[in-house]
A and B are shown apart, each in its own frame.
Chain A
Amino acid sequence: MTDAAPVAAAGRQRLTPRLVAIMLYARRSCFPPKRWLALLMPCVGALLFGLLARAIDLPRDRAFANVAAEGIFSLAMPITALIIGDSVLGAEVRAGTFHFTWLTPAPRWQIVVGRWITGSAVAMVTIAPASALAAVVAGSTRSAGAAYVASAVGSVAYVALFIAIGCITRRTAVWALTLVFLVERLLGEALTGIAQLSPTWESRAIFVGLIDNPPARLIRDGIPAGADAVVRLAVVAAAALALAVFRMKRMRLSGASD
């Protein structure tokens, strides 16, 4: 072992980029079978919301739009993103295995971004298609694309937020649910300033901006819609990731038994 050649000085063999290594690790290690099962539950919930839309006595598109706004973007999507965001960082910190990554020279931004990319990819293949499928189940096939995009963009922002929360506190779930239901839902309902930074409200706005003749009650003044909302959520995600990188410097990591 003492002859092992560290660092890129040897240079003859191709190195796996750290970012790629972190992404592969997060995919393999952060999503064991049980967690995939946990992820399926809110996705099934999204499909049930699609079924529920069929029971509403409105044109299919309008019925789905209402259900998607209140059920999928406000409940199923944040919960799925919470499971994903916690899995890629917070759960590992609590399990006492994160220091294997932390105690390497990998730049902190790569640790955060690599995990965020993996988490976002998982969201793309879970809640985003489930939202689109919910539109199909609801009989509003035309809304499927909008539901996919809105759900994907909202999840990506949420995953970044929940990674940041995982860097700040060990009680990721408690603080994440507080953020979603008390701050976003309750305060965001009353204060447009909060809604403007809320993935729930912004993903609703993206969805509303992408469908034809959205219900008037879903259009909220002061909230950017369509592409503007995508940009807004990109800013939220970037700020959350920057916060996570900043916090990672100050993390006090302890073992699982501590």
Chain B
Amino acid sequence: MTDHPLPPEAVHGTVPPDQFDPAFVADATVEARDVSVWFGPKVALSELSCSFGAGVSGLLGPNGAGKTTLMRAITGLTRVNEGSVLVEGRNPRTDRQVHHRMALVPEDEAVPPGLTARQFVRYIADLRQVADRSAPDAALGEVGLLDAADRRVDTFSKGMRQRTKIAAALVCDPRVLVLDEPLNGADPVQRAHLIALFRRLGAAGRTVIVSSHVLNEVERMAERVIVLVHGRLAAAGSHRAIRDAMDDTPRHVLVRCDDGRRLGSALVGLAAVTGLTFDPKRDGLVVQTLQARELAAALPRLARDASIRLHEVRPLDDSLESLFRELVR
């Protein structure tokens, strides 16, 4: 972590966590300390330390970054090999009482077959001993599924299944809500609706942890972002801190096209470009920039104006690959 390109205000360093560390929050409800999880030879999480408190926190990272493993560790589904995870001071793996106050919406599409949405949500309500018999319908109403409540869940579309699982999670009014890619499969209207719902829950003092590999999506719902890459904490803090940090970081981008010489000449005139070399091994231009967003916006326009066909635009800095990809998008 010490050689990470991001500045200290956005990066969790090797120093002991304290109140100035952006990976930690005051009044944390969920706390992970030096958590390592491995599956055989594959290391899913490596010495990860961070905490979550009231409000919506986003977990961001590319596929395989360890987001799901961290969420499973937080909910007790996955045993941590080293370190500890505490939810409201309790170990979620061994203390069943934690589950009175916590719910998970898994990313998997799998849903119990043979049950209607209402039966499924009611089942979860029964197991959680929710006294209010109208809670299942209220939860289904929150996610806009009341009309389909008597349809079998296994006949639902991906987005509807996801919303059913969110309703099942909401039915007990959890204080800690862990959502793994909850917007998968949802249409734009539903996305907006769910984002508003999560923000409302966060504003009501619930700890909402949402994972996504889409930065813009997380940005819309979370006040705070934790970025994971290769099972490690890459960055933490507000979007602004992370974006600002990225803006100050020199970045190398590989550009392959059908006329490198002409594109190179055009790129030299851009303010966003601070360096340019030709890499014969990669058969492309390596562009150095401090302003990735500007470069991302200018490059397609430049190529179009010069009638140059772009074959590949790829960041070479692995640690920022996902964030960069999102910015380019």
Contacts and interface: CB of A to CB of B under 8 A. Distances in A.
A104 B135 contact: no
A217 interface: no
B99 A104 contact: yes
A1 B173 contact: yes
A213 interface: no
B128 A6 contact: yes
A253 B104 CA distance: 13
A29 B113 contact: yes
B58 to A, nearest CB: 21
A105 B99 contact: yes
Contacts of B132: 4-5, 10, 13
A106 B131 CA distance: 15
Q: How large is the interface on A (under 10, 10 to 19, 20 to 34, 35 or more residues)?
A: 35 or more
B209 interface: no
A51 to B, nearest CB: 33
Nearest to B93: A249
A11 interface: yes
A104 to B, nearest CB: 4
B127 A1 contact: no
Contact of A97 (B112, B129, B135): B112
Interface stretch (A14-22, A202-210, A225-233): A14-22
Interface in A80-104: 92, 95-97, 99-104
B96 A8 contact: no
Interface residues of B, number: 50
A29 B139 contact: no
A107 interface: yes
B184 to A, nearest CB: 12
Contacts of B72: 254
Interface string A32-66: 10000000000000000000000000000000000
Contact of A256 (B99, B102, B108): B108
B135 A105 contact: no
A28 B119 CA distance: 10
Interface in B13-55: none
A31 B114 CA distance: 8
A116 to B, nearest CB: 17
Given A2-B206, A102-B77, A104-B99, A13 B131 contact: yes
B43 to A, nearest CB: 16
Contact of B126 (A12, A18, A96): A18
Interface stretch (B164-172, B220-228, B236-244): B164-172
Contacts of B111: 97
Nearest to A27: B114
Nearest to A2: B204
A4 B126 contact: no
Nearest to A29: B112
Contact of B100 (A96, A101, A105): A105
Contacts of B113: 29, 32
Given A99-B77, A253-B77, A5 B131 contact: yes
B97 interface: yes
A5 B114 contact: no
B235 interface: no
Interface string B118-143: 01100110111111110100110010
B265 interface: no
A97 B77 contact: no
A7 B129 contact: yes
Nearest to A255: B108
B60 interface: no
A99 B104 contact: yes
A95 B68 CA distance: 17
B77 A103 contact: yes
B79 interface: yes
A100 B166 CA distance: 12
Given A97-B112, A255-B107, A103 B129 contact: no
A5 B130 contact: yes
Contacts of A103: 75-77, 99, 102-104
Nearest to A5: B132
Nearest to B173: A4
In the A-B complex, the 6 residue pairs with the closest CB atoms: A21-B126, A10-B131, A255-B108, A104-B127, A96-B110, A4-B173
12 contacts: A1-B142, A2-B206, A4-B170, A7-B100, A21-B123, A29-B114, A97-B112, A100-B124, A101-B127, A103-B99, A105-B129, A250-B79
